[in-house]
Amino acid sequence: MRESRLARPGYGLGRDRRAVVIGSGLAGLLAARVLLDHFDQVTILDRDRFPDAPEHRKGVPQSYHAHGLLLHGRDIIEQLFPDIDTELRAHGASPARDSVPLQVVCPFGPLPITPMPDEFIMYSRVLLEFLLRQRLTRDYPHLQVLPEVDALGLLTGAGGQVSGVRVRHRNGSGPDTLESDLVVDASGRGSKAPEWLATLGYGPVPEQSITSGIGYASRFYAKPEGFPRYWTGVVINGRSPHNRRAGLILDVERGQWHVTLGGFANAAPPLDETGFLQWARDLPDPTIYEAIRIARPLTPIRGFRTPTNRLRHFDRLPGWPTGFVVTGDAVCAFNPIYGQGMTVAATDALVLRTCLRHYAAGTEPGFERAFQRRLATNVAIPWFVASMEDLRWPGVEHHGTTPQLGTTMARRWIDLMLRAAVRNRHLADKYVDVIMMNAHPRVLFSPGVIARVLTVAVSGKIGIPSQEFALPDPALAALRDAPTPSSQPVSLVQRTP
């Protein structure tokens, strides 16, 4: 029988148990949802003031850029917030049926993905985050949300355990400490957890990093009436070393398209009107260009340069304080081009739930270390997938990540598999299962997949796309004939650091 932390001074017995979550991004909201089942009081604090409507906020500048939520992440969110789809629809996310959720144009052409027969909706990160926050505050009276509060550091109790957070209220009023039994750091890429741990005598935290030099430029458009719904999103992938350009269009709520153009290896897309359109035009597939050419821009073009992608190995520290865990981007911040961050935040929340259940709501010793270790396992595959792709680019800076022979061979196989997948629906679907995190990447190396790749190879069709572009020819021709809207708004160019 493990020693119960309830028996130790400073923990729970005879009083309410409280958890504090630093940060109300996706990782913080999902972690809070899980904590609410185990704690008497949960507080989410954030340095931002929350908008009353689904709007962007300063603390998450990345929301101006298209956020695709992978199918696996969507399923977890639906599990944690039943019927969230209904609320998304009520806020304008319109359903599509018999369409491809995300049409993937790989470097060898569009993949012939099976359309989804069920209704499917796409929505923006801003709307999702707004509705999750609203649901939590509405449905859980034991949740407290504290806006405009900066977390400055950790408080410690007599036994060295973390006993709360040092805070600063931006409006100048309020206590400067928040006591709690568990502090969850979900403050994103800029998390100060390594510094806070160092102050307590733990560290340094081992890190792996890759500076992939990704630049984004994004804009919202009004989708033209009657636009064909063959897909609810299209992603066009670049590929080292020749094609540095990528693009993403998502059919989000209220008849809007969220369009992001990306450039690898320091080739950021331009932020002016003409340059933005030209970049889209030069993508290897014309679908995004033809769509936005006839669409009405709704917002200025915003830029973003993604800082270093980083995996922090909190799990490898020899010591760890009780009462503190770290989750989300604060642990692993991916190159966003692979669309993994929100889904990994969702899987992180499931890891938290498992550990809370296993360690008596986090009261038994070993809970925090078990959580960080399981989280490390949880992020290992997405990090491997992202770094395998990032390290293709010549000149990409990386630390603590050594490309292995196995990685090179895996990459060669994926390329061959994709060359076959542009001719084979089964292979295309398998690949999409993996990138949507619904299947382990090992399925791409299974005997069934190998046999199909060989069949396509033997037929002599390998690498020859079955369909030239992401939109079928008649739809593309119709778009090409459509007139460009006469008035384009003046571009208020903004680059977010």
Ligand X SMILES: Cc1cc2nc3c(=O)[nH]c(=O)nc-3n(C[C@H](O)[C@H](O)[C@H](O)COP(=O)(O)OP(=O)(O)OC[C@H]3O[C@@H](n4cnc5c(N)ncnc54)[C@H](O)[C@@H]3O)c2cc1C
Give the residues lining the site for ligand X (CB under 6 A).
22-28, 45-48, 59-60, 62, 65, 67-69, 150-151, 186-188, 190, 216, 304, 306, 328-330, 336, 339-343, 345
Closest approach of Cβ 332 to ligand X, in Å? 9
Estimate to the nearest angstrom the gap between the alpha carbon of 489 and the chain centroid.
30
- Give 329 or 390: the residue with its C-beta nearer to ligand X: 329
- Those residues whose C-beta lies under 8 Å from the C-beta of residue 375, and which sit 6 or more positions away, are 314, 315, 327, 331, 348, 351
Structure tokens at 237: 């992938």
Q: Are 42 and 119 in contact (CB under 8 A)?
A: no
Place of tokens 């929301």: 63
| Token pair belonging to 69 | 């939520």
Residue 332 or 471: the one with the smaller Cβ distance to ligand X is: 332
State in angstroms the smallest separation of the CB of 203 from ligand X.
18
Are 101 and 123 in contact by the 8 Å Cβ rule? The answer is no
Shortest distance, position 183 Cβ to ligand X, whole Å? 12
Minimum distance of ligand X from residue 49's CB (angstroms): 10
Nearer to ligand X, 11 or 221 (CB): 221
| DSSP per-residue codes, 109-154 | EE--PPPBSS-B----HHHHHHHHHHHHHHH-TTEEEE-SEEEEEE
Nearest distance from C-beta of residue 433 to ligand X, angstroms: 17
Helix, strand, coil tally for the chain in percent (to 5) = 35, 20, 45
How big is the chain, counted in residues?
497
Dist CA 168 CA 149 (whole Å)? 6
C-alpha separations of 181 from 36, 91, 154, 163 in Å: 13, 37, 12, 6
Cβ closest to ligand X, residue 33 vs residue 419: 33
Scan for tokens 């208020």, then name that residue. Answer: 492
CB of 7 to ligand X, least distance (A): 32
Q: How far apart are CA 17 and CA 413, in angstroms?
A: 51
State in angstroms the smallest separation of the CB of 348 from ligand X: 8
260 vs 401, beta carbon nearer ligand X: 260
The residue (of 48 and 207) whose beta carbon lies closer to ligand X is 48
Which CB, 59 or 247, lies closer to ligand X? 59
Residue 313 or 358 having the CB closest to ligand X: 313
The CB-of-228 to ligand X minimum distance in angstroms stands at 24
